[in-house]
Structure 1
């Protein structure tokens, strides 16, 4: 379904919330594609996926389907994500402090092997991928 629409799956969440079960499907454009996910694309995927799930009866109880993009402050979950968004500003939370801090905000300068280079307010900072706890694009 998604490849035929020029999209890819970013994440799926299925959890119980106050009003019942919610199936959240996050879609994205492939790396190298121009532009992001549009509202029309989310609507198309929601309609097609909803029909498929209804016909196949994959989920035994009632749920609400939500389809969206990862957002402007999307998580960066791999070295490939950092490379894809080189030049953008991100916020990185580390497992242990580096340069006296566990959280760093900076522009992604490069990805070399398993090392990410950020340009922060304090200068250039090299971070080993294995030391990253969480990262996401940062809106200024």
Structure 2
């Protein structure tokens, strides 16, 4: 997670939790003059549009006061959904046995993209089995990880 994402999560997570939701993760995507701030929220009873709207209003107020993003930005609040993004080691550990896609920031063993079965977490590394080979990928080198939904 980038420094900006870490800063934003530390700033926004308490407000999300105060509303009774879990901050699943944050994506901060700076694209030229415009920035996208996507906040994923989770709750045991699920997430509906009203929950997203409630959290969005609260986070907008916090962001207006704190003003952590200098340029124009769009705030999106969403459920992680079926192809849920994974941000933390605990999230990878919770989905052991599931199919996942992982993209690294820099190549490891000649590749950046891995798709296979999550086998666990060892220290600060995610274990993924691709075909007959297990890879240990440091969490700090993971750019993006998602569960592949089963239908």
Taking structure 2 as the reference length, the TM-score comes to: 0.60
Q: Does 1:6 align with 2:25?
A: no
Quick check: 2:37–2:73 contact (8 Å CA) kept in 1? Answer: no
> 1:42 pairs with 52, 58, 63, which one?
52
Give CA-to-partner distance per residue, 1:62-98, whole Å, 9 cap, x none: 7654322344434433322311322222112343343
5 Å-filtered alignment, 1:1-140, equals 1-9=15-23, 10-11=25-26, 13=28, 24-29=37-42, 34=44, 36-50=46-60, 52=61, 56=65, 58=67, 64-94=74-104, 95-98=106-109, 101-120=111-130, 122-129=131-138, 132-139=141-148
CA RMSD of aligned residues (A): 3.7
More helix by share: 2
Change (3 A) 1:49 1:87: same
After TM superposition, the structure 1 stretch with the greater mean CA deviation from structure 2, 65-74 or 41-50, is 65-74
- Count matched residues: 132
Structure 2: stretches of 5+ with no match in the other structure = 1-14
| TM, length-normalised to structure 1 | 0.63
Q: Secondary structure at the match of 2:83?
A: coil
TM-superposed CA distance for 1:110, in Å, is 1.4
Distance 2:70 2:124 in 1: 42
Q: Name the larger-Rg structure.
A: 1
Post-superposition shift, 1:106? 0.8
Structure 1 gap ranges (5+): none
Partners of 2:113 and 2:64 lie apart in 1 by: 46
